[in-house]
Structure 1
Amino acid sequence: MMVLLFKILIHNVSSSRRNPVLADLFARIDLMERRGSGLRKIIEAYELEEKYKIELKPEFRSTESAFFTVLKNLNYEGQSEGKNEGKNEGQKLKPKDRQERIIHIMKDTKNITALELSKLLFVSVSTIERDLKKLTDENMIEYVGSAKDGYWRVNK
């Protein structure tokens, strides 16, 4: 099944109710000012904020069956500095130390994924997969169950 994702240019979108049930409910309890003004109001409210920058502009995307709004945090500072710092810290760990941390994390969170581990330890998914293979080969850990519902068992 192919899902098309459209990035919405808000000023070119005709006003239409995307969820008639919610629209009617909000209208009945007087929580809707006027129909079809919400997306423009979101953009206008963002543009009035003191910390607003063009790269923080709200994004609207749509598929055939869903509508997505991305509201970026206007109060978040130091994005690039924090990312680099974390990456460097994670890469300073020696493989053995990183594998010990993986085991420690798995004791608390048995159903953790390689992607989640990579984000926690600031390394690539392939690095985590190599560590998991080594730990599995050494019988330190084992994966029990299906790919969807399984979990990690620590044998150490």
Structure 2
Amino acid sequence: MTLENIKNGMTAKRNQIIVSVLDKLEYIENYASGVRRIFKDYESFDKKPEYYISDNGVIVTLYNRNYIKNNDTQKNTVNIDKNKNDTQNVNQKNRMNTIIDLIKEKSNITIKEICLKLNVSRPTVYRDMKYLRENNILEYQGSAKKGKWIIKK
């Protein structure tokens, strides 16, 4: 099988019995559509998935579509890659601006409190805070218990 064959929906069932059982148990959804969906989802991104196809299988490397590169910051507002107007970047920009607003209200706010107010996971908040710190928008001063966030001008 070639990548073009796979992209066009061609399948090679290694174990027909297992495939049949999984299909009947409804564990398989849209059988043989994964590669086409991956290509469709990555259409507007610079870094496309990489495929390695051998006689024994396929290895797919998917790149993080949420990765932000070379962003500029201006007056406590996060400017996310102007060429990408996808919902995820808008949501991330809104989240980061909300984080800054929350810190303005309460400089000793905890990550847990931010997670609860934004209704997002801890890793999401850590990722946003890391970005804000690396781009000199925020700084944390003091100990873990008695410290506070500083918004840099």
TM-score, with length taken from structure 1: 0.40
> Looking at both structures, which has the greater relative contact order when contacts are Cα pairs under 8 Å and sequence separation is at least 6?
1
Q: Which protein is richer in helix relative to its size?
A: 1
- TM normalised by structure 2 equals 0.41
